[in-house]
Structure 1
Amino acid sequence: MASHIGKLPVAIPAGVEVKIDGQNFSVKGAKGSDSYIIPDGITARIEDNTIFFDPKDEQVQTRANHGLARSIVASKIQGVNEGFTKTLDIVGTGYRAQMKGQGIEFSLGYSHTITVNPPEGITFELPNANQVVVKGTDKQAVGQAAANIRALRKPEPYKGKGIKYSDEHILRKVGKAGK
């Protein structure tokens, strides 16, 4: 019984070059290049600009890695072709961000400013002082960089102040009742 996700083929878009050498997978596209080692027990083959994944045996670990390997390969292809972005909104009076070299300097209501430098392969953009865009080719690295920025000042439930994802909805709580 193979994975339902693992059975799905991965289409290779135009302008993307894919090489599979045994368990080594490498991809090159407009935004950069990346590689991945396919777990043992799974074979990948290319036919007509499509990648197919086949489990060699039916062990539980192979079945678990079958869908995971397919998902990772698909995200690496999407990353070098289109890239990934996460947008964060800064909400609160006096809360803002500004570029400082490659990094960003945040004023978040603390007694000091906080400077965040981008990890390798990640870039930051500031469309305005209250919005940060994290871009890169690695889905996991983009998500982790955005989560690290959000952790600087998580949104609070009473006024919604803090750093939140642009598509995140903050559940608001009612404050103290008046007299």
Structure 2
Amino acid sequence: MSRIGKKPVSVPAGVTASVDGQTVKAKGPKGELSFVVNDEVLVKMEEGSIKVDPRDDSKDARSKWGMSRTMIVNILLGVKDGFEKRLEISGVGYRAAMQGKNLQLALGFSHDVLYPIPDGIQITVPRPTEIVITGIDKQQVGQVAAEIREYRGPEPYKGKGVKYAGEKIVRKEGKKK
């Protein structure tokens, strides 16, 4: 039994949510999102909260039960507060800057990397070594952060590269004489 799935999802203040068949829609101060729940999971609105239940006792339905509740929570939190990921750049000459609607990254290559910012995502560069990614869709914010980090992930010897804020890099010992 899913312990997460058993809890009803309360709709936060300032957010309007509606359930139409298998589609859950949420509208809040940051924007509007919707999520289509899998057919093996039953969704209903009752007393200002959203209740999620499996249709039967199959393993497939039970595995999608908790995930569906978590996705509903994420869209409700996204339209209310939004999500944020921070990236840190370390290394001599490594820096980031905004160039119009693109993020320009100097990561030690022979050329600068231009990353086009997708719709629904805002990227700011408060310092040349820090990137802040914000948006209302948690999956999209994480995907953009992962794509930027992928250009030059942190290496284990000096720790140079792009890493998540707070990420601990396991360092290796260098050569010995």
Report TM bin, short chain. Answer: over 0.9
Q: Normalising by structure 1, what TM-score?
A: 0.95
The CA distance in 1 between the partners of 2:59 and 2:168, in whole Å, is: 38
1:98-137 correspondence to structure 2 within 5 Å: 98-137=97-136
Question: What secondary structure sits across from 1:151 in the alignment?
Answer: helix
Structure 1: 5+ residue stretches without partners:
none
Q: Structure 1, residues 13-52: CA drift from partner, whole Å, max 9, x if none?
A: 1110001011111110111101111111322222332211
Distance, in Å, in 2 between the alignment partners of 1:105 and 1:127 is 14
Stretches of 4+ moved more than 3 A in 1?
none
Structure 1 Cα separation of the partners of residues 22 and 104 of structure 2: 42
Letter in 2 for 1:10: V
CA contact (8 A) 1:102 1:124 kept: no
Three-state SS of the structure 2 residue aligned to 1:99 is strand
Equivalences for residues 63-74 of structure 1 within 5 A: 63-74=62-73
State the match for 1:13 in structure 2: 12
Displacement of 1:54 after TM fit?
2.0
Give percent identity, aligned residues only: 44
Q: Judge conservation of contact 1:158–1:175 (CA < 8 Å) in 2.
A: yes
Q: CA deviation at 1:128?
A: 0.5
Per the alignment, in what secondary structure is the counterpart of residue 156 of structure 2? Answer: coil
What letter corresponds to residue 103 of structure 1 in structure 2?
N
Counting matched residue pairs gives 177
Q: Could you list the runs of 5+ residues in structure 2 that have no partner in the other structure?
A: none
In structure 2, what is the Cα distance between the partners aligned to 1:55 and 1:165?
A: 36
1:165 is matched with: 164
Cross-structure match for 1:149: 148
SS in 2 for 1:78: helix
Q: Distance in 1 between matches of 2:60 and 2:171?
A: 42
Residue 47 in structure 1 maps to residue 46 in structure 2: yes
| RMSD of equivalent CA atoms | 1.1
Does the residue aligned with 1:64 lie in a helix, a strand or coil? helix
Distance 1:42 1:95 in 2: 47
Residues 56-67 of structure 1 aligned to structure 2 (within 5 Å): 56-67=55-66
TM-score w.r.t. length of structure 2: 0.96
Name the aligned partner's letter for residue 55 of structure 1.
P
User: 8 Å contact 1:103–1:124 — kept in the other structure?
Assistant: no
Q: Shift in Å at residue 55 of structure 1?
A: 2.0
Deviation at 1:139? Answer: 0.8
Amino acid paired to 2:84: T
Give the superposition deviation at 1:156. 0.7
